[in-house]
Amino acid sequence: MSSVKREELFPADEIRAMHDLDVPAVIEIERLGYQFPWSEGIFRDCLRVGYTCRVVAVGGLLAGYGIMSVGAGEAHILNVCVAVDFRCRGLGRTLMLYLMRRARALGMQEAFLEVRPSNLTASRLYHALGFEQIGVRRGYYQAPAGREDASVLRCALAAIPE
């Protein structure tokens, strides 16, 4: 991914459906963004089963993605990642609000997600968007020293702004 000046990044040009041809770029963002990235197969499975898979583009470059499943009145935000060169500029918030609004439009009442307690940036964003911790999944994530817990968060979708 080429380096770009931060002032050139915004606003997002579009949020659109993820396609098979996007998967290599999505995998690259994932690989550079996480120490323990999802595999190509996981992304392809999410597309195949019809999860809400979206990408965000800025200046013609794929800058991030979000994946969500919905059903039984609940949305589960499974993965949101912004490319390293595009972070801390509001794209994560933009993607999250898009997914939350999409879930609400599909009739979902609540959204759930897991986050590493060590991921303070993501945790702050989720709490600012109205998510509250409702539990902990012990040893949920791979970590360099073994396993890391996950904070389980919930948000009532009726409360999110238009």
Q: What is the pLDDT of residues 133-160, one digit of tens each?
A: 999 999 999 998 899 999 999 999 998 8
- Tell me, yes or no, whether 92 lies in a domain: yes
Q: How many domains does the chain have?
A: 1
This model's pTM is above 0.85: yes
β-strand pairing of 74-82 with 110-115: parallel
Q: Decide if pLDDT at 126 tops 50.
A: yes
In a domain, 56, yes or no: yes
125: domain range? 6-159
User: Could you tell me the CA-to-CA distances from 45 to 53, 74, 149 in Å, in that order?
Assistant: 11, 20, 25
Query: The tokens of 43 are what?
Result: 């992304």
Q: Specify if 1 maps to a domain.
A: no
pLDDT digits (tens, 9 = 90+) for 13-67: 889 999 999 999 999 999 999 999 999 999 999 999 999 999 999 988 999 999 9
Q: Look up the CATH number of the domain holding residue 90.
A: 3.40.630.30
